[in-house]
Amino acid sequence: MLNIDLSGKRAFVAGVADDGGFGFAIAKALAEAGASVCVGTWPPALGIFQTLLRRGKLDESLAMPGGGKLEFERVYPLDAEFDTFDDMPEEVRDNKRYKEHGDVSIQAAVERMKKDFGAEPSADGGFLDIVVHSLANGPEVKNVLLETSRKGYLGALGVSAYSMISMVQRFSPIMRRGGAFLSLSYMAAERVIPGYGGGMSSAKAALESDTRVLAFEAGRKYGHRVNCISAGPLASRAASAIGFIGEMIEYTKTNAPLPEALTAREVGATAAFLCSPLASGITATTVYVDKGYSAMGKAL
């Protein structure tokens, strides 16, 4: 039997703050395949997330198919807007939701992992195998592109696209050769989705383009693979903030070859495959997990 086997591998999933989004589903799928999983959580949401975990409020979602429950190896504070501590403005460092965590940059997550796991490197010096970028934020996402400011546009690109470049830069050296990077995109990267504004469509397009270039560069330098999943709409907490996610789910159900709503688990399973040795020949690729909606050229 051909199974997805990630036994002995360690994953870092950036962008997990609850049990309702793609990040959590991917983390769970990786764990079901045998990987140990660390997650990075946005500092303002970290306290609530840890409280929910501690009080057992997420136990039903954490339940594993074979019994027991998913236990995250580590939960790190992470704000992907910042590459290093020096990039964090004074007002952010002093903010009460950040101050207790200190350095929450991408580089800080790398350094924390070095401190926690650096004593167990492999022959090639690595102790990490999988990095998942499940991050997106557009401060002006409700503004149409014509009404988006330069600051809002660049903010969307910085957090939603450049952060992937930064993560490949900074995590690659602590990964075992043959590691896997994965990010999450959306159809707005290539087609018009009215209402998905603030530069987010541009950020997703950049993310998919960068996937191809990063795959070449990281593949030649480290032997790592870089892929992207373009997922259909899901009513996660983050997506619901856009305001019309329910409409998009119904529209996709009506028009897709498989007329049913996408589940987070379906994206999680695809992610586990793409990060596994079974996908060793797949890199620089955007994989559509959307019930086939992306193939349609005419609404029903």
Task: Give yes or no for a contact between 132 and 25, defined as CB atoms under 8 angstroms apart.
Answer: no
Chain-centroid distance, C-alpha 297: 28
φ, ψ of residue 176 to 5 degrees: the values are -65, 150
Active-site residue numbers? 186, 196
Which residues 6+ apart lie within 8 Å of 274 measured at CB? 180, 182, 227, 229, 282, 287
Round to whole Å and give the CA distance between 164 and 159. 8
Burial letters for 214-226: b for 16+ Cβ neighbours within 10 Å, e otherwise?
Answer: bbebbeeebebbb
Tell me the residue type at 209. Answer: S
